[in-house]
Amino acid sequence: MKEFAGCALKKNDLFELHIDALGNEGEGIGRFDGFTFFVKDAVPGDVIRARVLKLKKNYGYARVEQLLTLSPDRVTPRCPVAGPCGGCQLQHLSYEKQLEYKQNKLRDCLERIGGVAGARLEPIIGMDEPYFYRNKAQFPVGRGRDGKPAIGFYAGHTHSIIETERCYIQAPVNEALVAAVREYLTECGVQPYDESTHSGLIRHVLTRVGFATGEIMVCMVINGTSLPRAEVLQEKLERAVERWNGEHAGTTGENAIAEVDGKMASAVQYRLASLCLNINTEKTNRILGSRVVPLYGEPYITDYIGPIQYRISPLSFYQVNPRQTRRLYELALAYADLKGSETVWDLYCGIGTISLFLAQRAKMVYGVEIVPQAIEDARKNAELNGITNAEFFVGAAEEVLPLQYEKSGGAMRADVVVVDPPRKGCDEALLRTIAAMQPERVVYVSCDPATLARDVKFLGQNGYEFVKGRGVDQFGMGGHVETVVLMSKVK
Ligand code: SAH
């Protein structure tokens, strides 16, 4: 067994570890002998007997062999499979502490990576009900130990499937949808996909639920081009939804989705609005393929965030937590501080969600997004809402914006630029063009504090200063942090 300078431990050794921080994926962090150890399901304040799983040059992974002292911040997870399932990371930590951890992480990144000393952070906006909040689920389909088709979630870091009747962060109606799909697979003898042999048909079941409209989409991701006896699945799903409506009409509590726009979503009647296929015949870890085949209903669902109606296709990005998304967009709008005469660019605009929010208060909004289907949705969404002051471009933000800027001979200006990039953050070519356009304000919506901080630093070196920031928790029980930051042009 290889040993490492600086750490007297080797694989499988037992040692006592004090957990004093949380890592990026919600894992506990403790230090021993100058080494940093990452431990799944441990929280700050725990003292554990740890077993070494893996050692790297100056850090390692360990697992909890025994909890010696329980952290006072521990709570009992509501979900019986919270430990093994990879879906949630923080169910064993009180929600209050989850928020505190996210706030601290944000501050730490902005100060350490972003170089913003004493960053002005408003208190993170937590969720009123940190369970049952997700509108989108991607259930992997495979086989259980008994060889029968299994639908559930991946266990952490593996592709073995944990089956569970109820997921505590998903819209509860998924229970009925998954049960109907399971029944269909068994009754019709439809085979789950097998990764190791690249055979079998059903890879994933993607569901989307419109919290405000009750519209449901079920998209079967398949290793093939057609679904046998699709009408049986459709009928089972429709019946399951009907039954669910009957059993849960007007209920509150665990089975109800809390209030959305003044209406109890449980009082919303669910309806199977879309059943479709997504074709993915590649040998890949990627969940979705690029082709969608509608089977029943529309190839999209509609939903509302605040007053704006959105049409959402299977391949389009849509925020997964509609209640908090409204707060997120309202915050972005407040930071943009529009008076009605402004020209605004919304980069990484998806289906035009933020663009259309901004268009209510701006003269003109331009959106840029790389997924063509999302831009189709964005244009449709502008039309649906009677918004005529929004225009959309398909392409990479770091190509479209510099190109438009160049075409204008460097004359193109914006009053406000909003960016909402994926986790890897913004490309430097984009940030450089934004700085050259000299908007008064840049509103940065981020799902990764580290890349946010990196980009804040770049803008800070190119004529902008950090004004304020605020987290909006979109992922209760998960480790990720969503943030809005305002930067303004240095006068
Ligand atoms: N603002 C939207 C979407 C944010 S998610 C909302 O709140 O709903 C980030 C989006 O960036 C996704 O829609 C993704 O498809 C898109 N994207 C990823 N890389 C991109 C790039 N280089 N240029 C433009 N858009 C990109």
Same domain, 342 and 204: no
Tell me, yes or no, whether 240 lies in a domain.
yes
Tell me, yes or no, whether 93 lies in a domain.
no
- Lookup result for tokens 């299994």: 150
pLDDT confidence band for 25 (50 / 70 / 90): confident
Measured in Å, residue 78 CA sits from the centre of ligand 1 at 33
340 vs 456: CA distance, rounded Å: 27
For the stretch 321-363, pLDDT in tens is: 999 999 999 999 999 999 999 999 999 999 999 999 999 999 9
* Residues with a known catalytic role: 447
Measured in Å, residue 423 CA sits from the centre of ligand 1 at 10
- pLDDT computed for residue 261 by the predictor: 42
Same domain, 394 and 275: no
- Give the DSSP letter of residue 190: P
1, pLDDT greater than 80: no
Q: What CATH number is given to the structural domain containing 272?
A: 2.40.50.1070
Same domain, 374 and 417: yes
Same domain, 358 and 479: yes
Tell me, yes or no, whether 244 lies in a domain.
yes
Tell me, yes or no, whether 438 lies in a domain.
yes
Same domain, 330 and 453: yes
- What are the CA-CA distances from residue 116 to residues 104, 111, 120, 450, 491 (Å)? 14, 5, 9, 13, 18
- pLDDT computed for residue 398 by the predictor: 98
Q: Ligand 1 atom closest to Cα of 346?
A: 1
Q: Check: CB of residue 372 under 8 Å from CB of residue 378.
A: no
Q: Check: CB of residue 193 under 8 Å from CB of residue 285.
A: no
Tell me, yes or no, whether 7 lies in a domain.
no
Same domain, 302 and 325: no
Tell me, yes or no, whether 230 lies in a domain.
yes
Q: Which of 69, 86, 109 is the last residue of a domain?
A: 69
Same domain, 142 and 218: yes
Structure tokens that stand for 103 in this block: 């706030």
Same domain, 419 and 461: yes
Q: Which of 267, 291, 312 is the last residue of a domain?
A: 312
Q: What CATH number is given to the structural domain containing 365?
A: 3.40.50.150
Measured in Å, residue 273 CA sits from the centre of ligand 1 at 25
344 vs 359: CA distance, rounded Å: 8
Q: Is 221 helix (H, G, I), strand (E, B) or coil?
A: strand
Q: Ligand 1 atom closest to Cα of 325?
A: 7
- What are the CA-CA distances from residue 88 to residues 18, 79, 124, 382, 390 (Å)? 23, 10, 20, 35, 37
Q: How many CB atoms lie within 10 A of CB 147?
A: 7
43-47, 134-138, 150-154: which has the minimum mean pLDDT? 150-154
Tell me, yes or no, whether 338 lies in a domain.
yes
Question: Residue 32 is part of which domain span?
Answer: 14-69
31 vs 164: CA distance, rounded Å: 35
For the stretch 250-301, pLDDT in tens is: 654 444 444 444 444 455 789 999 999 999 999 999 999 999 999 999 999 9
Measured in Å, residue 320 CA sits from the centre of ligand 1 at 14
Q: Ligand 1: which of 311, 369, 403, 418 to mutate, most ligand atoms within 8 Å of CB? A: 369
Please name which of 159, 260, 141 lies closest in space to residue 209, comparing C-alpha atoms.
260
Same domain, 36 and 158: no
Q: Ligand 1 atom closest to Cα of 328?
A: 7
pLDDT confidence band for 306 (50 / 70 / 90): confident
| Residue nearest (by alpha carbon) to ligand 1 atom 3 | 350
- pLDDT computed for residue 259 by the predictor: 44
| Residue nearest (by alpha carbon) to ligand 1 atom 1 | 349
| Residue nearest (by alpha carbon) to ligand 1 atom 16 | 348
Please name which of 274, 257, 304 lies closest in space to residue 132, comparing C-alpha atoms.
257
Measured in Å, residue 443 CA sits from the centre of ligand 1 at 15
Structure tokens that stand for 160 in this block: 């073995």
| Residue nearest (by alpha carbon) to ligand 1 atom 13 | 350
Taken in order 468, 473, 478, 480, the sign of the CA dihedral is negative
Same domain, 164 and 301: yes
Measured in Å, residue 15 CA sits from the centre of ligand 1 at 44
- What are the CA-CA distances from residue 195 to residues 59, 143, 162, 221 (Å)? 32, 11, 16, 14
Residues 202-226, mean pLDDT to the nearest whole number: 96
Give the total number of structural domains in the chain: 3
For the stretch 105-143, pLDDT in tens is: 999 999 999 999 999 999 999 999 899 999 999 999 999
Q: Which of 261, 291, 312 is the last residue of a domain?
A: 312
Q: Ligand 1: which of 351, 353, 370, 417 to mutate, most ligand atoms within 8 Å of CB? A: 370
Tell me, yes or no, whether 85 lies in a domain.
no
pLDDT confidence band for 24 (50 / 70 / 90): confident
The binding-site residues of ligand 1, defined as CB within 6 angstroms of any ligand atom, are 317-319, 348-350, 353-354, 368-371, 374, 396-398, 420-422
- pLDDT computed for residue 366 by the predictor: 98
- pLDDT computed for residue 248 by the predictor: 80
Q: What CATH number is given to the structural domain containing 26?
A: 2.40.50.140
Measured in Å, residue 426 CA sits from the centre of ligand 1 at 10
- Give the DSSP letter of residue 482: -
Q: Is 123 helix (H, G, I), strand (E, B) or coil?
A: strand
Same domain, 234 and 267: yes
Q: Any alpha helices (H) in 222-321, and if so which ranges?
A: 230-248
| Residue nearest (by alpha carbon) to ligand 1 atom 23 | 396
pLDDT confidence band for 307 (50 / 70 / 90): confident
Instruction: Provide long-range contacts, Cβ within 8 A and 24+ apart, for 374-378.
Output: 374/313, 374/315, 374/316, 374/317, 374/349, 374/350, 376/313, 377/300, 377/310, 377/311, 377/312, 377/313, 377/316, 377/351, 377/352, 378/349, 378/350, 378/351, 378/352
Same domain, 301 and 326: no
- pLDDT computed for residue 263 by the predictor: 43
